[in-house]
Amino acid sequence: MNDSSDGLAVVGAGVIGLAVAWRAAAEGHRVTVLDPRPARGGASWVAGGMLAPVAEAWPGEEAALALGEESLRRWPRFAADLRAEGTHPGSGLSESGTVVAAFDGADAEQLDVLARYLTGLGRQATFVTGRQLRRTEPGLGPVRAGLLVPGDLFVDNRSLLEALLAAARLRGVEFVPESARALAADTVWTESGPRRFAAVVLAAGAHSGTLHPQLAGAVRPLKGEILRLRARRGTVPPPARTVRAVVEGRPVYLVPRTGGGLVVGATQYEAGFDTTVTARGVRELLDAAERVFPGVAEYELTETSAGLRAGSDDTVPYLGPLRDGVYAATGHHRNGLLLAPVTADAVLAWLAGTEPPEGTSEARPDRNSSEERIDAGLRQR
């Protein structure tokens, strides 16, 4: 048996696993990350990169909002620390903000409700007319009303993942290119046998439900397709901010990248572990993107891809020790990039025995558990 029994195992090298590994190694932990495709194999590589807890808030979902905002507050420092490692240009954090666009009367009413809710909570969110919104983002289509959310940010997800990978390596993290097949509080089994650790963090995203009985059924794959496009000579430039909208009942977002790039996402299906890019998914995203930002029709379509989010029942992740002592850092639903800093800080607190960040207690893994689910999970095992 491989023995790293003074060390920390992190199962999964998406944004959560890499953030945890980098931060823990920087604190002096001996860290091993197990993943056959670090950075590139999971949902965070496919994502748009929105850090938008306010624009995505909704009455009744206060736990998600509080945790998201807690992490958003930690983002600038997280990005600065990462840049300070000197291994990579950094996370591509943009502070240009987010707008939400409504294209019909019903959507505009929804935005008005959201604006009142957010200002009631003291958040910065301004309801504006369509004309005002188009002054801010002139490339938008015939928009009825909008919401300006200057505090919601975005990152370049791929730049971030590469920066985290480089920083983790710099800090001595060992990467084992194998999949975990089973795990316990002090052991991870892979194809090459068991490895011992002092502690194990489960950050396997959509696959977490198959690796731990307490998460079986609670974390499920939520397929998402995205497009990557690029402005061409003579086309309108991409929006300066993230643009969110709902088109024919489906949410869509457009997140700019430097150099004229644009990410359009995302479909959302429950389709098991399927990551096929479908004709329907691409067509729906193209239709929606053209509705929101007509100039995109002349952009180059450079990539179509699909990933599997780690869906949770209530969109809130599962953070904290499971009953057998494995630490869960998973179930981040559509918010893994946003929640990476607060999740990494929570793991450090668990390991140090200090108080974890505010909001994480609402994310404890047993919050929704019924005996039936736990029993079902254990029986499946």
CA–CA dist 366, 381 (Å, integer): 18
In whole angstroms, the minimum distance from the beta carbon of 262 to its own copies comes to: 10
Q: Which is nearer to its own copies, 125 or 231 (CB)?
A: 231
DSSP string, 49-109: -EE-TTTT--TT-HHHHHHHHHHHHHHHHHHHHHHHT-SSS----B-S-EEEEE-SHHHHH
Record the tokens describing residue 293, joined without a space.
């930002």
By beta-carbon proximity to its own copies, the closer residue of 9 and 289 is 289
Contact between 256 and 238 under an 8 Å Cβ cutoff? The reply is yes
Which lies closer to its own copies via its Cβ, residue 106 or residue 301? 301
Rounded CA gap, 155 and 48, in Å? 8
Q: Are 156 and 91 in contact (CB under 8 A)?
A: yes
Q: From residue 76, how far is each of 27, 252, 321, 341, 359 by CA, in Å?
A: 19, 26, 27, 10, 19
Work out how close the CB of 224 gets to its own copies at its nearest, in angstroms, rounded to a whole number.
15
Q: Least separation, in Å, of the C-beta of 344 and its own copies?
A: 36
Separation between Cα atoms, residue 309 and residue 331, nearest integer Å: 8
Token pair in block for residue 265: 């996402």
Q: How far is the CB of 243 from its own copies (least distance, A)?
A: 15
Cβ closer to its own copies: 169 or 230?
230
> Rule CB under 8 A: which residues touch its own copies?
227, 229, 232, 276-280, 282-283, 286-287, 289-290, 296-301, 304
Rank residues 174 and 284 by Cβ distance to its own copies and give the closer one: 284
Q: Kindly state the smallest distance separating residue 98's Cβ from its own copies, in Å.
A: 22
Minimum separation from the CB atom of position 263 to its own copies (A): 13
Quick one: 281 or 317, whose CB is closer to its own copies? Answer: 281
Q: How far apart are CA 55 and CA 111, in angstroms?
A: 10
